[in-house]
Amino acid sequence: MIIFPAIDIIGGQCVRLVKGDYATASKVAEDPLETARKFEAAGAEWIHMVDLDGAKAGYPVNTEIYKNIAQNTNLKVEVGGGIRTLETIQAYLDLGIARVILGSVALKNPQLVADAIAKFGAEKIVVGIDAKNEMVATEGWLETSEVHYIDLAKEMMKVGVRTFIFTDISKDGTLSGVNAEQLRKLRDATEGQCNIVASGGVHTIDDIIICRDLGLYGTIAGKSLYQGTLDLAEAIQKAETMTIRSMKIEDYDALYAMWVACGNGLNNLDDSREGIDKYLKRNPETSFVAEENGVITGAILCGHDGRRGIIQHMCVSPQFRRRGIGHKLVKRALSALKAEGINKVLLVAFKANALGNAFWEAEGFTLREDLNYRNLALTDMIRLDPEY
């Protein structure tokens, strides 16, 4: 589970509200960039940011702050508040923002959400569902609709949304604990097809454990970090449910089933049990599986010939996608190859598609149309480690 430390901005200042009431805004930190750097130093990989001025105005107000953090830290930044057009989404993504949060517009203009998913992909778009007494609130929580939060989630799923941030406004900024009941209802209603991020009420490490045990994708922590009731490093450690270990031939049946489910190109020779066994014996230290509670959720089959690394298969179970597992597997494999003196890595048996290309390009791979592995007529990619 991902821990998202939060920075909300009003007038360029880091603030927190109580139950979404702007009149309760209180300054919680001096400088947004330095605050973000402290979160990064504690181990955070993501940061959750909200333009509260933008949420009220209906257009972005504090853009420079988010740009500064995205470009001067290694944090992946998600931003919400006042995002109402495709042009605004594009502008944020062009600044290096990892993904944007659509809130009020999801209820008032669902076609925009559908268009955003179609244009930018589900990885870049998050829908924030904020509720008072289970009814969706909009316009910086200043208006309450007659739409139930579960109904909105189901409608958004129909247009391709795969990540939701759910906030029980009555809990937000109160340090009174997360609303586990409403989170469980949303988890069950989305039937494992979506990432659920909990927001509002996080107080102590117990809330992190509750969200982790619910199987949520992430939890946002704000006031608890600033007031010291929650330690970010401890929260990150407690939230981790995934382990990465070396691949074994005993994993074969689970791996093969996952490769088939993911639509990986397979052949009877190399991808048979005997073929994989030989592969692992040649390169016993460079292939890995990810596990969640004993279930294999992803795998990377990787070896080398003494000159270059070869990624034969890399996939994540459809049930567990969008949790960063793929990137962590690639990072572990590249580190293992580097330890064996390999700095050139070729990705093979890869069917070109926009989503896959974006994933591998984010890992530093470059498309090479002139490479053709075993005449499979697939697009290959190659990476040269810049440190060598």
**Catalytic site residues?**
8, 130
Quick check: 366 and 381 in contact, CB under 8 A? yes
DSSP string of 2-50, one letter each residue? EEEEEEEEETTEEEEEETTEEEEEEEEES-HHHHHHHHHHTT-SEEEEE
**Chain-centroid distance, C-alpha 231:** 21
Residue type, 383: R
Task: Please identify which residue in the block is written with the tokens 């926009």.
Answer: 354
Residue 9 region by backbone torsions, left for phi larger than 0, else alpha for psi between -120 and 50, else beta: beta
The bridge status of strand 135-138 relative to strand 143-148 is antiparallel
**Token pair of 194, please?**
């979506």
Residues near 380 by Cβ (< 8 Å), separated by ≥ 6?
Answer: 346, 347, 348, 350, 367, 368, 371, 372, 373
Q: Whose CA is closest to 328, among 361, 296, 288?
A: 288
Give the H/E segment covering residue 94.
helix 86-94
Q: β-strand 21-29 against 76-80: which pairing, if any?
A: unpaired
Contacts of 90 (CB under 8 A, 6+ apart): 120
